[in-house]
């Protein structure tokens, strides 16, 4: 893939989930139009990665760990924004999941691949966001609002995702009787 392709995929991955979230919430303009530093960050990261990949081999495990941190951050940020715009708890949780995973789904579809979150051997990806976002919403609704709820929710996502990667924890896959 050439540099332009890498930049497009980087941008789609970085802002795709948040764009869908903002459109669902009716937020205008969407976050990256109002705050273009998100676009610049994604584009600069794409160029740096494009160049660095020619000289440095990043172990897959390091990339997966970095992705787990991003998943935790964006999953809770999306949930928090949805709550701030008055979304009911379950909707906020779902929009947190969308924020965390939809950019990667769009990237994979553009590349012609089965999205990671739909692969049967993925280790608790969207599920980790669901649980962490649920914990965050329950804390926000049940206790006085505190910034610590954000970090607890992120911690739940991160711990679940890292534990799932370590011990290959995953949900059961669908199998019909005819597949047995």
- Among all chains, which residue has been given the structure tokens 């937020």? 27
- Which stretch of DSSP H or E encloses residue 157? helix 147-167
Contact status, residue 107 vs residue 93, Cβ threshold 8 Å: no
Contacts within 8 Å (CB) and 24+ apart, 25-31? 25/81, 25/82, 25/85, 25/87, 25/95, 26/85, 27/85
Q: What is the pLDDT of residues 48-99, one digit of tens each?
A: 999 999 999 989 999 999 999 999 999 999 999 999 999 999 999 999 999 9
> Which parts of the chain register pLDDT below 70?
180
Give the pLDDT score at 176.
Answer: 82
Look at the block and give the residue holding tokens 């280790």: 123
Q: How far is it, in rounded angstroms, from Cα 125 to Cα 136?
A: 17
């Amino acid at each position: 893939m050439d540099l332009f392709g890498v930049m497009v995929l980087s941008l789609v991955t970085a802002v795709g989930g948040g764009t869908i979230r903002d459109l669902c919430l009716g937020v205008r303009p969407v976050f990256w139009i109002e705050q273009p530093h998100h676009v610049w960050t994604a584009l600069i990261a794409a160029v740096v990665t494009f160049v660095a990949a020619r000289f440095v081999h990043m172990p897959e495990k390091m990339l997966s760990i970095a992705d787990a941190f991003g998943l935790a951050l964006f999953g809770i940020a999306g949930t928090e924004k949805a709550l701030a715009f008055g979304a009911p708890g379950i909707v906020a949780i779902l929009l947190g999941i969308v924020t965390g995973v939809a950019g990667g789904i769009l990237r994979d579809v553009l590349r012609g691949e089965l999205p990671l979150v739909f692969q049967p051997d993925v280790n608790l990806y969207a599920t980790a966001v669901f649980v962490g976002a649920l914990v965050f919403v329950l804390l926000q609704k049940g206790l006085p609002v505190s910034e610590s709820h954000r970090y607890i929710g992120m911690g739940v996502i991160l711990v679940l995702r890292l534990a799932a990667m370590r011990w290959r924890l995953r949900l059961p896959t669908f199998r019909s009787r005819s597949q047995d």
